[in-house]
Amino acid sequence: MIPKLRGHHLICLHFFKGEGYSEEFIKNIYNVLKNQKMKVADGADDICTKCPNLVEGKCASREYSDEDIRAQDTEALRLLELEPGMVVGWQNIAEMLPPILDEWRARFCNECKYSKVCFG
């Protein structure tokens, strides 16, 4: 089955370096990333399902509201020119990143606690 990924995960997980909220969460990310294709999710995805922050289908992270996260998803999909339900190759997304990454980082990465993990 093709895993479902929400907008911001389609960008952020290209920089995943094995860190996360729990062992189960991290293991699940590795499993999802073994797939060549991803389906664009609207809201909670196959990463969120193993996240301790997912409460009743919504992100209850301490850092971001569900609304903030959804706004990130919307912006990621705008930059990638994708829509929920589309199936896209993981490598194709990697190739789309260079021209959009500066804008993405300026908008979202400065305040993200994983920014140092992703970009050093």
Which residues are at the interface with ligand SF4 (CB under 6 A)?
A: 47-48, 51, 53-54, 59, 61, 69
For the CB of residue 27, give the shortest distance to ligand SF4 in the complex, in Å: 14
Token pair listed for 63: 């850092």
Smaller CB separation from ligand SF4, 48 or 76:
48
Question: 24 vs 48, 108, 120, CA distance in Å?
Answer: 11, 26, 25
Smaller CB separation from ligand SF4, 20 or 90:
20
Q: 24 and 55 in contact (C-beta within 8 Å)? A: no
Smaller CB separation from ligand SF4, 61 or 95:
61
Radius of gyration of the chain (CA): 13
